[in-house]
Amino acid sequence: MKTYKIASIPGDGIGKEVIPECEKVLNALSKKHPEVAFQFEHFDWGGDYYRKYGIMMPDDGLEPLRSKDAILFGSAGDPKIPDHITLWGLRLKICQGFDQYANVRPTRILPGIETPLRNCKPGQLDWVIVRENSEGEYSGVGGRAHQGHPIEVASDMSIMTRVGVERVQRFAFKLAQSRPRKHLTVITKSNAQRHGMVMWDEIANIVAKDFPDVTWDKELVDAATARMVNRPESLDTIVATNLHADVLSDLAAALAGSLGIAPTANLDPERRYPSMFEPIHGSAFDIMGKGLANPIGTFWSAVMMLDFLGEKALGAKLMAAIEKVTANPKLHTRDLGGTAMMSDVTNAVIEEISK
């Protein structure tokens, strides 16, 4: 029997609801397939931890995570704590601490889900966005001086390194190569950002030479938003900087029906450290504690985790169960226009995988 050690970090808001549901689903999968087991260790980091200790997670918090096979993460965000503290103090501390430089975000319209795009036929929207996850606009370089005075100054600097750009682009070309269409779109803004983004473009030209079977094109980030809406079928794999991909992937999630469905993986492709899997959505305090959260984004993230751990058959089984459940409108939560509760969705997925 193979036992996977999973760090479970629900974080804040609905993260505290969807992560336990995901554990139930993984345990049900293990019950049906006893050759695989999951051993969860729970970490109560996040907003409440901050209120007690003044930090989102312990300074040496990465240590107990280091030996895990993967990390399952809910969300970080609290209406009473500034966003930059919740983000930098927990999620980014883990992503950057474990050099999870490739953030992978698949988007697909699942069976039974309606897209706001009028003319989009099933199968025409099937994307994977690769987000650079370690530098760029999220490098944390910059500062503020003379706060509150008329001469106040503030800056955020985007840092792009050749190593950082090349490794994420190489990862994206490889991912594009593994998908049936073998097509990559490199998102840029080199018309306005004339240093870092110009280097980004140059590196894409160089890396592309190692992938002659991948067709690729370049798109300005602003034009990319329109293309996602007007010509979704023209896109397949997409690679973008930290900030550009952050914005594009929220748009992608909305076009695929709901933020509540979208998954993401923060990968260390070299497997030096554990990778982290989480739904795209945030803490959604407006629906917290009501059992209304859609857990599908978290379940799909668990599929990505199983795939990354090498348990592809189990991942496929869980994905099939998810698609069976989304196909039934009676099992749609409120974000999808339905009346189902989170627990109805979980129970239905468990029923499917237990068959």
Residues at the interface with ligand ATP (CB under 6 A): 14, 75, 77, 259-260, 281-287, 293-294, 297, 333, 335
Give residues with Cβ within 8 angstroms of 275, minimum separation 6.
70, 71, 98, 100, 265, 266, 267, 268, 305, 308
How is 194-210 classified by DSSP, letter by letter?
-SHHHHHHHHHHHHHTT
Nearest residue (CB) to ligand ATP, 14 versus 172:
14
Alpha carbons 127 and 233: distance in angstroms, whole number: 9
Buried b (16+ CB within 10 A) or exposed e, 76-88: bbbeebeeebbbb
Nearest residue (CB) to ligand ATP, 201 versus 250:
250
Alpha carbons 212 and 199: distance in angstroms, whole number: 21
Q: Which two tokens stand for residue 79?
A: 């209406």
Nearest residue (CB) to ligand ATP, 69 versus 335:
335
- For residue 80, the minimal CB distance to ligand ATP (Å) is 11
Q: Which two tokens stand for residue 309?
A: 């751990």
Give residues with Cβ within 8 angstroms of 121, minimum separation 6.
none
Q: Which residues pair with 188 in a beta bridge?
A: 220
Nearest residue (CB) to ligand ATP, 89 versus 164:
89
- For residue 152, the minimal CB distance to ligand ATP (Å) is 26
Nearest residue (CB) to ligand ATP, 264 versus 283:
283
Nearest residue (CB) to ligand ATP, 68 versus 91:
91
- For residue 268, the minimal CB distance to ligand ATP (Å) is 24
- For residue 81, the minimal CB distance to ligand ATP (Å) is 10
- For residue 122, the minimal CB distance to ligand ATP (Å) is 23
- For residue 257, the minimal CB distance to ligand ATP (Å) is 11
